[in-house]
Structure 1
């Protein structure tokens, strides 16, 4: 099960202190100096008439740097308090018992799983970008609580109740709501490759497209040129239009190669874990740059 921070990434920022760090992407809690100021820096165009440009330019940049550094440090501490210290059991079990080898480069969005199966090389890739682009429909900004309301016990209880009703409680046994796109390539030397587009969601692998390419490079599509060339190749009929028995056999074909329920559970959990690590590293890098 994916933790709450990933599912709620696109939710109103006002739930961040109660739900998870994933909500941070919406709107961060403003620092006291910004709250008390006549206008926030990002609303400069709305307030330009109230100040002269000379006054704005005369403000030392070091003051902004210091305030930004303090805010970044606050976010780092917030992440430290909220992050899950333990690696999910599904991630541990999969990495220990699966035949797939994990390739995860720090700072990069894409994650790769590779394995050999007879004379085949199987590659499964997914990206943490799915978290940032996911837009859950169970959050309504019009009904979101304000920061002032969240500072009250009643507001916190109401926010927790709303999260529970949405099925987003971290302790709940529900499945992940974020669809995680998978790009699966089954390659045989000299025989081309199968390219399967699928989605891992709710503990299941749902196949969307099933392609065959004589040139295996087209299946990987690691450049814009290759991806463009793949578009000119007949992809085959939509998977959902195939004979039902054929669909079932193709799904069993993938399951036999490790594209199974265990992988469907692993991918969202690992994607969430990686996103948390990348965000924490990003905060540190930005702070180090500002402080230099």
Structure 2
């Protein structure tokens, strides 16, 4: 008789536990062991057991632990990159002679202008640190101006006229200085399969001729005031592109 009383009390407790589990998953989690003991005594219907395991499965993640770890690191790096962005937009100087074409996701920008019937286009690449050493610890207090001073900006200047070959200058801009690395003539009538004479190395030209070409570029807008602004602009773009790159990685890992 005593055993029958225990079984009847247990049978009344089980439906209460089932109703409580429907209203609180936390309750079911904390008391699932007690519910299992009661289930063994009373042998409840099959509907009870699946509800217990389904609520537990909701919290189960199919992602490998390595993916979860990668996602945490990506989120942390993304936060740091966003915080390092400048709050104010880079303002283009009023005297800046070019129109800027900047496509998000690209590592270069293009400058265009016309000058006395000539079409001038400039491809500007991301700045490179002069004497960059991966093993050298960066100074956290280094300001942007010092970074600009120590960086090199690769640019390619193309000057073309209607129905005529074009001139192409490969240059490197540093703080207040522009170096012409090479000069070539591009003739649209010459097939790419043909090997055109490219002339001597620019550094081997007569010194007066080198100075004349520097002046030739200067009056067309390729001068230190232009390239110093481009250093600042491209460093800001580099950070913006890095943030976008991290966001795309984060979306991929989360998917």
Q: Does structure 2 retain, via aligned residues, the 8 Å contact 1:200–1:206? A: yes
Q: Aligned partners of 2:88, 2:194: CA distance in 1, in Å?
A: 42
| Closer, same or farther: CA 175–285 of 1 in aligned 2, 3 Å | closer
Q: What is the alpha-carbon distance in structure 1 between the residues aligned to residue 194 and residue 151 of structure 2?
A: 27
* Residue 171 of structure 1, CA deviation: 6.1
Q: Deviations over 1:195-236 (max 9, x none)?
A: 1111011221111112122228x8xxxxxxx8xx38821111
Higher relative contact order (CA closer than 8 Å, sequence separation 6+): 1
Structure 2 residue ranges without an equivalent (≥5): 1-60
Describe the shift of the 1:230–1:83 C-alpha distance in structure 2 as closer, same or farther (beyond 3 A).
Answer: farther
Q: How does 1:1-292 map to 2 (within 5 A)?
A: 61-88=63-90, 92-94=91-93, 96-128=94-126, 130-131=127-128, 134=129, 136-137=131-132, 140-141=135-136, 160=139, 169-170=142-143, 175-215=148-188, 229=192, 232-292=195-255
Instruction: Choose 1 or 2 for highest CA Rg.
Output: 2
Paired residues, number: 195
TM-score, normalization by structure 1: 0.59
Asked whether the 8 Å contact 1:200–1:267 carries over to 2, the reply is: no
Name the TM-score, length of structure 2 as normaliser: 0.67
Structure 1 unmatched ranges of 5 or more: 1-58, 145-158, 219-225
CA distance in 1 between partners of 2:76 and 2:147 (Å) = 31
Deviation of the 1:138 alpha carbon: 5.6
User: Does structure 1 conserve the Cα–Cα contact (< 8 Å) formed by 2:175 and 2:224?
Assistant: no
CA RMSD of aligned residues (A): 2.7
Q: Aligned-pair distance for 1:256? A: 0.4
Aligned to 1:179, what secondary structure does the other structure show?
strand
